[in-house]
Structure 1
């Protein structure tokens, strides 16, 4: 007599259909709650279980529903990145760092440009935070140094991390690099190349890093007994156009050029180099030019730009990591505002500077 076998229990189908958390739990042999904890990167899950759940999710092409996750708990899984900076490469690097870290934890990024000069900037940010629920906010210069912005974020009760702030120490968690020391070392490099008559293009006055970089420059020049005359200092605004204008002021006396120019960011250094080319001044044979940031353009322009490599992507990544670590903690971190991380810089020597 032929025996009829009972059909084997089916595994969840790996198809084009949208998989659910129930499918992942069934395939991994765990509870729905365990799947949720793994997807949210919560602690206290055995590594073996975590691996099993992630393998099941990958096999089923499962992606957590952001709205459902938000409605089911106290988190929105959204991090806000607020900025006001004329350098597109700086903004792109910021976004790259924040997005990279957020993706690791299933978070998304709301990237919002803000006008720091708007008279209602505080009200605008308060309205944004009232409209969209965020698990944290990252503030970049100059927003991170504006009391009205900090007041608005704190009133909304949203945790925040500041990138490279200059004011209100101890008011929030922050991530930074040592702009003063970096500018000091760049100036020392030029001094070591025999330069004494060095021009300097200051950055946007509303950005704290601009003042720190100027301080580092002046400190090194003072120590070398080579403090610059006021005519060797030009005001810029972190843009290519302002670099051009600064170069006009520094090159006003064609018979008495500085031997080197240190621009507070790469965009302005590009403007200086462009003006030098327009006026027939050879870089670096007649004037060495150095910058700050190590943006992609520093390797496109010729001669390639000697500059300080600012780890913008890493700073943004670290800021997002600080917020996500706080969001996933089992209990509120009372000392979160005291958290501080400092990342290293690098002096990158290329062809735009040479010894005199």
Structure 2
């Protein structure tokens, strides 16, 4: 059986001390670039893989990042994991995923218990849990590294990645006005979420500035599920006159609107335009394909993982890291210019 290469082998062939090899493995900054490249070359040639438990003990950390969520959208969670895992793989960290009920009175303590029980070095917190003031406060109090993904500026820039949902939906509103839409309805998410309020206000305030409006009767509060999209569409499309355009707070609810329109014999986009938010993996595959706001969640997760790792490793870069990503309006088949 072939002997597995050790850190001593790397040090001998690279002509350096074991301590210097350890510094390179742990990403320390106090190693010259030529020495670092030489050690990395030897590591690659030998196929050396440091023992993670020993590595963690030497660096006083576990090399584990946590991902805490309370979101029923499996496609959203999948994209987040892909973004975070890509950074973890390059940086030698593992990702531990943990669900948490943001509605529970003790959710903050339960999250902290998970972090301490699993010996997590830092956590990425997804919406809507990321909006919890109590959770952010207890993480700061316990000196646990965290980064929140959110729709607006809720925290210090080193602790947050923002998608600016208001600006993104404002762009959608301007597009709808350019297409002649005046009869617009909205299926919101739960209105106690910042993200739902930001998206609704981004739409209504921009429409108002352009001379349009969304009547209160044309606003249905959903809960970001396909089922509530169906319920909202049935309520709105039974109105007389019915709206000619429905914006849903996420793509999952927009899919429910398309289903109801099909059942009621309402042609999309000839008789009804539909738009969503997220640009999840199914948005381009629906029939018709869905006009939506592309929120770059994988990029947000990647940036959050980078921030966490830099915090853990006491990097000065985290102070100057970008904290905001730009969402983009994606126009597809489900919207069109209204008939005169």
Q: Determine the structure 2 residue equivalent to 1:324.
A: 309
Q: Determine the structure 2 residue equivalent to 1:118.
A: 104
Cα deviation code 1:186-228 (max 9, x no counterpart)? 0111111010111111113343211111110011111122212
CA offset at residue 26 of structure 1? 2.0
Q: Determine the structure 2 residue equivalent to 1:95.
A: 81
Q: Determine the structure 2 residue equivalent to 1:276.
A: 261
Cα deviation code 1:133-160 (max 9, x no counterpart)? 2221111212122122123322322111
TM-score by length of 1: 0.89
Query: Are 1:346 and 2:331 an aligned pair?
Result: no
Distance in 1, Cα, partners of 2:2 & 2:34: 28
The 3-state SS of whatever aligns with 1:299 is coil
CA offset at residue 168 of structure 1? 4.8
Q: Determine the structure 1 residue equivalent to 2:37.
A: 51
In 2 relative to 1, CA 39–336 (structure 1 residues): closer, same or farther, beyond 3 Å? closer
Query: Are 1:149 and 2:105 an aligned pair?
Result: no
Contact 1:210 1:264 in 2 (8 A): yes
Distance in 1, Cα, partners of 2:281 & 2:118: 34
Q: Which moved more, 1:270-279 or 1:43-52?
A: 43-52
Q: Which moved more, 1:265-274 or 1:218-227?
A: 218-227
Query: Are 1:74 and 2:60 an aligned pair?
Result: yes
The 3-state SS of whatever aligns with 2:200 is helix
Query: Are 1:106 and 2:87 an aligned pair?
Result: no
The 3-state SS of whatever aligns with 1:154 is helix
Q: Determine the structure 1 residue equivalent to 2:209.
A: 223
Query: Are 1:136 and 2:125 an aligned pair?
Result: no
CA offset at residue 119 of structure 1? 2.7
Q: Determine the structure 1 residue equivalent to 2:283.
A: 298
Q: Determine the structure 1 residue equivalent to 2:6.
A: 20
Which residue of 292, 297, 313 corresponds with 1:307? 292
Q: Determine the structure 2 residue equivalent to 1:12.
A: none
Q: Which moved more, 1:87-96 or 1:158-167?
A: 158-167
In 2 relative to 1, CA 290–44 (structure 1 residues): closer, same or farther, beyond 3 Å? same
Contact 1:28 1:52 in 2 (8 A): yes
Cα deviation code 1:106-147 (max 9, x no counterpart)? 111111111112232122112212312222111121212212
Q: Determine the structure 1 residue equivalent to 2:241.
A: 256
Distance in 1, Cα, partners of 2:165 & 2:137: 26
Which residue of 281, 285, 308 corresponds with 2:270? 285
Query: Are 1:189 and 2:175 an aligned pair?
Result: yes
Distance in 1, Cα, partners of 2:125 & 2:319: 14
Distance in 2, Cα, partners of 1:99 & 1:109: 7
The count of aligned residue pairs is 338
Distance in 2, Cα, partners of 1:126 & 1:66: 23
Q: Determine the structure 2 residue equivalent to 1:33.
A: 19
Distance in 2, Cα, partners of 1:220 & 1:101: 37
Contact 2:66 2:115 in 1 (8 A): no
The 3-state SS of whatever aligns with 1:290 is strand
Distance in 2, Cα, partners of 1:55 & 1:169: 41
CA RMSD of aligned residues (A): 2.1
CA offset at residue 308 of structure 1? 0.8
Distance in 1, Cα, partners of 2:77 & 2:46: 35
TM-score by length of 2: 0.93
Gaps of 5+ in 2: none
Distance in 1, Cα, partners of 2:287 & 2:18: 58
Contact 2:26 2:59 in 1 (8 A): no
Gaps of 5+ in 1: 1-14
Cα deviation code 1:216-273 (max 9, x no counterpart)? 00111111222122221111111111111110111112x5221111111111111111
The 3-state SS of whatever aligns with 2:274 is strand
Q: Based on CA coordinates, which of the two structures has the bigger radius of gyration? A: 1
